[in-house]
A = this chain, B = another copy of it.
């Protein structure tokens, strides 16, 4: 069936029905009024972030299933809450789609998004559906974080050690293969635990690639950094897999993006203590240190502004 036959209100009804499976503790008033009402706890601020997913730009159905595309949309947006150390309160979805599109495809995308939202107890609380030539999901996620505990990009100081959760490069490798099957998990629980340590001076999630995102963190903190390329965590068999698709492993590690791991700087030399249930499923890698000056790659290849790899030491941004 085409969307044109189901109609705008029919589609909204179907989405609402799918969304009912997600309950959220912070929802005072959900879908269906002029606005939703969310409640943070006393002493909490509200985090808000918006992201867009456009067919042909951010997803293509010849590369991935509609459900995977939807998963990626929510994973990317919730990852921004993770990078703030926030717990999800809810999200809105503003959907643009041509009336000629297949209802099942559109609903599969939405269901994929709801799958990820459900895993993080983040209910759909509102949104919009409109006709468009373009198929687009505009997701706004809201979270809550204890005042003064939120993780910022600014705040890193020279000498703070740099850590990275999980391996990089998997998403870039799948895109290089022309087939996306795996969706990285937003590090919501880790971000909250890091916020509670009170020792994380700066944090960002890896969406554009560790090199670009480290540069964002450094710019916001007004510091430089030394990044140890050999210490960057990578999936098993990564180098061989890269060779098979004729891609440079370091390039995919450094610039691939959509990893949604957290890159953060820590004050002091004491180890970061995570709660036991999180420690069991989280690998933190020490990947460098914040420093005065520019951004330096240690024991890796040099990247030129034109994108080509070159043996060498470091590069300023």
Contact = CB atoms under 8 A, between A and B. Distances in A.
7 tightest Cβ-Cβ pairs between the two chains A and B: A138-B138, A134-B134, A35-B49, A34-B83, A50-B92, A35-B47, A140-B140
B58 A36 contact: no
A29 B152 contact: yes
Interface of A: 28-29, 32-40, 42, 45-52, 54, 56-58, 80-81, 83-84, 86, 90, 92-94, 96, 125-128, 130-134, 136, 138, 140-143, 145, 147, 150, 152-154, 203-205, 220
Nearest to A86: B35
B35 A138 contact: no
23 contacts: A32-B220, A33-B153, A34-B203, A35-B80, A35-B81, A36-B47, A37-B45, A38-B46, A38-B47, A39-B45, A40-B46, A46-B142, A48-B140, A50-B128, A57-B131, A57-B132, A94-B94, A94-B138, A96-B96, A128-B138, A132-B134, A133-B134, A140-B140
Contacts of A33: 84, 152-154, 220
A104 to B, nearest CB: 22
A50 B126 contact: yes
Contact of A126 (B35, B48, B152): B48
A121 to B, nearest CB: 17
A140 B136 CA distance: 15
B45 A28 contact: yes
A52 B220 contact: no
A282 B174 CA distance: 59
Given A35-B141, A50-B128, 8 more contacts: A33-B152, A35-B83, A37-B145, A48-B48, A50-B94, A50-B126, A56-B133, A142-B142
Nearest to A38: B46
A38 to B, nearest CB: 5
A140 B126 CA distance: 10
Given A50-B140, A94-B51, A140-B48, A204 B132 contact: no
A84 B34 contact: yes
Contacts of A136: 96, 132, 134, 136, 138
A81 B143 CA distance: 19
B96 A48 contact: no
Please indicate which of the listed interface residues A81, A136, A141 has the most CB atoms of chain B within 10 Å of its own CB.
Answer: A136
Contacts of A39: 45-46, 147
